[in-house]
Amino acid sequence: MPSRAKRGSTSRIVVTGAAGFLGSHLVDRLLAGGHRVIGIDDLSTGRRSNLRDARNDPRFRLLRADLSTLSAIPSAGRYYHLASPASPSAYQRDPIGTLRVNSVGTYCVLESARKADARVLLASTSEVYGDPSVHPQDEKYWGNVNPIGPRSCYDEGKRFAEALGMAYRRRYGLDVRIARIFNTYGPRMAADDGRVVSNFIVQGLRGEAFTLYGKGNQTRSFCYVSDLVEGLERMMEAPGDVPTPINLGNPREFTVRQTAEMVAREIGIRPTFRHEPLPEDDPKQRSPVIQRARQYLGWSPRVPFEEGLRETVQYFRTVRASRRSPK
Active site (catalytic) residues: 154
160 vs 121: CA distance, rounded Å: 15
Phi, psi of 266 (to 5 degrees): -65, -40
**110-124 in b/e burial notation, b at 16+ Cβ within 10 A?**
bebbbebbbbbbbbb
Reported as half-sphere exposure (CB side, CA atoms, 13 A), residue 136 has a value of 19
19: left (phi over 0), alpha (psi -120 to 50) or beta: alpha
Q: Are 119 and 177 in contact (CB under 8 A)?
A: yes
215 vs 112: CA distance, rounded Å: 47
Phi, psi of 317 (to 5 degrees): -60, -45
Residue 240, number of CB atoms within 10 A of its CB: 8
DSSP 288: B
Q: Which helix (H) or strand (E) holds 2?
A: none
